[in-house]
Amino acid sequence: MQEMAWYLTLVLIGLLAWVFIAFIRSGESDVSSAEVARKDYSYRGKMFWMLIVAGVGITLSTLMPWPHAATKAQSRVVQVDAYQWYWKLSDSEFRVGEPLTFQVTSHDVNHGFGIYDANMAMLAQIQAMPGYSNKLHYSFDKPGKYKILCMEFCGVAHHDMQATINVLPVE
Ligand code: CUA
């Protein structure tokens, strides 16, 4: 094994030496430095445009399928207002698969808008802040009852800040 590594090292050093020698000898040719620079710059120009084309292509193809563009257009807007200590939802009955945009704000202090399933597993959440309207895109994939809980301690009745959402099966 060691012998093998030794011979391999020799071969690689030989190759490297050959590349060096070839490089040095190429420098002895009578090509002017201006000619070398011209070739280099034209290569660089081509690389630059290839990068631009690749960058634009990759950006478009990877960013276009983002959910934002699709959900913004056809989603149902649900206004959510948080108060000490209750939630006001403009709607609380939805369909499975229906794209929803929860527009969440608060009228006093910071609250946390959290959606939980029947097993109390959290599905989605966003901050409810006074002076801001935060958007949460979500769509339910199973029918049933869901709970809205406050996720930020907001005072003495924080634990009471609950609401229920009913999700109906697909029509
Ligand atoms: Cu609202 Cu805690």
pLDDT of 89-126, one tens digit each? Answer: 999 999 999 999 999 999 999 999 999 999 999 999 99
Residue 9, SS3 per DSSP: helix
Per the prediction, the chain carries an average pLDDT of: 90
CA of 21 from ligand 1 middle (Å) equals: 74
Q: Mind listing the pLDDT tens digit for each residue in 118-163?
A: 999 999 999 999 999 999 999 999 999 999 999 999 999 999 999 9
- Which numbered atom of ligand 1 lies nearest the CA of 155? 2
Q: Where are the alpha helices (H) located in the chain, listed in sequence order?
A: 2-27, 33-63, 67-74
- The alpha carbon dihedral of 151, 153, 154, 157 has a sign of positive
Is the model's pTM score more than 0.85? Answer: no
- Residues in contact with ligand 1 by the CB-under-6-Å rule are 85, 111, 150, 152-154, 158, 161
For residues 76 and 98, the answer to whether their CB atoms sit within 8 Å is yes
CA of 158 from ligand 1 middle (Å) equals: 4
Backbone angles phi, psi at 58, to 5 degrees: -65, -40
Residue 74 pLDDT greater than 90, yes or no = no
- Which numbered atom of ligand 1 lies nearest the CA of 110? 1
CA of 41 from ligand 1 middle (Å) equals: 62
Which of 120-131 are b and which e, b meaning 16 or more Cβ less than 10 Å from the residue's Cβ?
eeeebbbbbbee
